[in-house]
Structure 1
Amino acid sequence: MSRSAAKQRVRVSVARLRRLIVGLLALATVAAAAACTTGEDRPRIVVTTNILGDITREIVGTEADVTVLMKPGADPHSFGLSAVQAAELERADLVVHNGLGLEENVLRHVDAARESGVAIFAAGEAADPLTFRTPADDGGTTSGMSPDETEGQPDPHFWTDPGRVRKVTGLIADQVIKHVDGVDESAIRAHADRYDEELAVLTAWMEKSFDRIPEDRRALVTNHHVFGYLADRFGFEVIGAVIPSGTTLASPSSSDLRSLTEAMAEAGVRTVFADSSRPTRLAEVLRAESGGRVQVVELHSESLTAQGEGADTYLRMMRANTTAMTDGLTAATNGD
Structure 2
Amino acid sequence: MSAGSTPGRLRRRLRARLLAAALAGVLLVGVSGCTEDVQHRPSVVVTTNILGDLTRNVVGDEAEVTVLMQADADPHSFGVSAPQAASVEQADLVVHNGLGLEENVLRHVRAAEEAGVPTLAVGESVDPISYAAGASADEPDPHFWTDPERVRRAVALIADHVVEHVRGVDKAAVGKNASAYGAKVTELTSWMRQQFDAIPAGQRRLVTNHHVFGYLAQRFGFRIVGAVIPSGTTLASPSASDLTSLATAIEAAGVCAIFADSSQPDRLAQVLKRESDVEVDVVPLFSESLTAKGKGADTYLRMMRANTRAISTGLSTGQPHCRPS
Give the alignment of 1:281-296 within 5 angstroms.
281-290=267-276, 293-296=279-282
The letter for the 1-side match of 2:258 is: V
Identity of aligned residues (%): 59
Matched residue, 1:257:
243
> Matches of 1:34 and 1:41 in 2, distance apart?
9
The letter for the 1-side match of 2:68 is: L
Matched residue, 2:82:
83
TM-score (ref. length: structure 1): 0.86
Paired residues of 2:42 and 2:92 also in contact (CA < 8 A): yes
2:111 aligned with 1:112: yes
Matched residue, 1:206:
192
Which of residues 267, 276, 289 is equivalent to 1:303? 289
Q: Secondary structure at the match of 2:69?
A: coil
> Matches of 2:190 and 2:36 in 1, distance apart?
45
Paired residues of 2:251 and 2:278 also in contact (CA < 8 A): no
> Matches of 2:63 and 2:55 in 1, distance apart?
10
The letter for the 1-side match of 2:264 is: R
Matched residue, 1:226:
212
The letter for the 2-side match of 1:91 is: Q
> Matches of 2:237 and 2:187 in 1, distance apart?
37
Matched residue, 1:124:
123
> Matches of 2:186 and 2:77 in 1, distance apart?
31
Paired residues of 1:101 and 1:156 also in contact (CA < 8 A): yes
> Matches of 2:228 and 2:239 in 1, distance apart?
9
Deviation, 1:268, is 0.3
- Find runs of 4+ consecutive structure 1 residues off by over 3 angstroms: 31-36, 331-336
> Matches of 2:105 and 2:93 in 1, distance apart?
16
Matched residue, 1:98:
97
The letter for the 2-side match of 1:92 is: A
Matched residue, 1:312:
298
CA 307–32 in structure 1, closer or farther in 2 if over 3 Å, else same: farther
Matched residue, 1:72:
71
> Matches of 2:213 and 2:315 in 1, distance apart?
15
> Matches of 1:282 and 1:332 in 2, distance apart?
26
Gaps of at least 5 residues in structure 1 are: 135-146
Paired residues of 1:217 and 1:333 also in contact (CA < 8 A): no
> Matches of 2:184 and 2:300 in 1, distance apart?
11
2:237 aligned with 1:238: no
Paired residues of 1:225 and 1:240 also in contact (CA < 8 A): yes
CA 313–280 in structure 1, closer or farther in 2 if over 3 Å, else same: same
> Matches of 2:123 and 2:163 in 1, distance apart?
19
CA 48–41 in structure 1, closer or farther in 2 if over 3 Å, else same: same
> Matches of 1:99 and 1:327 in 2, distance apart?
32
Matched residue, 1:268:
254
Deviation, 1:237, is 0.2
Paired residues of 2:204 and 2:222 also in contact (CA < 8 A): yes
Let me know the Cα RMSD of the aligned residues.
2.5
Q: Deviations over 1:267-325 (max 9, x none)?
A: 00020000112211111111121258221000011000011111000000000100111
Matched residue, 2:313:
327
> Matches of 2:299 and 2:317 in 1, distance apart?
27
Paired residues of 2:203 and 2:317 also in contact (CA < 8 A): no
> Matches of 2:307 and 2:85 in 1, distance apart?
32
CA 248–300 in structure 1, closer or farther in 2 if over 3 Å, else same: same
Matched residue, 1:167:
153
Q: Deviations over 1:16-73 (max 9, x none)?
A: xx8xx89x959x75x976886xx53310000000000000000000000000000000
The letter for the 2-side match of 1:299 is: L
Paired residues of 2:250 and 2:276 also in contact (CA < 8 A): no
The letter for the 2-side match of 1:275 is: D
Q: Deviations over 1:228-282 (max 9, x none)?
A: 0000000000000000000000000011101101100100002000011221111
TM-score (ref. length: structure 2): 0.88
Paired residues of 1:48 and 1:69 also in contact (CA < 8 A): yes
> Matches of 2:268 and 2:311 in 1, distance apart?
19
Gaps of at least 5 residues in structure 2 are: none
The letter for the 2-side match of 1:102 is: L
The number of residues matched between the two structures is: 309
CA 34–330 in structure 1, closer or farther in 2 if over 3 Å, else same: farther
> Matches of 1:132 and 1:80 in 2, distance apart?
25
Give the alignment of 1:32-71 within 5 angstroms.
40-71=39-70
